[in-house]
Amino acid sequence: MRAGLSPRQATPADIPIVVDLWNEAKSWLAAKGLDQWQYPIKMHNIYRAVETGTCWLIEPSSGGPAIATVTLGDKADPSLWRPEDQPDQGLYIHRLVVRRSEAQHNLGAEILDWASDRVRIAGRKFLRLDAWTNNVGLHDYYRRLGFRLVRIVEHPSGSGALFERDA
């Protein structure tokens, strides 16, 4: 990650920040006419990610408010990832959100590269994520960053486009 930015594990006191980032992204997606994340935030997922140490905030090293959040964990959703996918060989990205004011600075790509480093440190092979099925712009973004589409599954959440890249 570029100099001047620091990832750190979120604490319970940071939950409002994570929620604020998520709600900002939700509003931006709605303004673009996308149905992604257009449901009440699933607070239990955020609480669990903070409790398990898998929720991260990206902050300026000099201080100041968080400019991004990401959850990176080792639990594959069995309704998405099959046994033949070797789910234990990946780490999984969830709720990657970059403040809109920072989006043009390539921060999302930097966070994904940081996550790939963590995959290697953990001795795993793949960085994986599931993207909203009908957000083809997001699919193109992930492809440009070296991800390959594994498959698209029908999933009740709407997030069933499965991507991975080698760490």
For the chain, how many structural domains are there in total? 1
**Per-chain mean pLDDT for the chain:** 93
18-33 pLDDT, tens digit per residue, is 999 999 999 999 999 9
Q: Percentage of residues in the chain with pLDDT exceeding 90?
A: 80
Mean of pLDDT values over 100-126: 93
Residue 100 is assigned to a structural domain of this protein: yes
Does 64 score more than 80 pLDDT? yes
Q: What's the confidence (pLDDT) of residue 154?
A: 84
SS3 of the chain: the string is CCCCEEEEECCHHHHHHHHHHHHHHHHHHHHCCCCCCCCCCCHHHHHHHHHCCCEEEEEECCCCCCCEEEEEECCCCCCCCCHHHCHHHEEEEEEEEECHHHHHHCHHHHHHHHHHHHHHHCCCCEEEEEEECCCHHHHHHHHHCCCEEEEECCCCCCEEEEEEEEC
Q: What's the confidence (pLDDT) of residue 136?
A: 92
Supply the CATH number for residue 75's domain.
Answer: 3.40.630.30
Domain that holds residue 122: 5-128
pTM higher than 0.85 for the full model?
A: yes
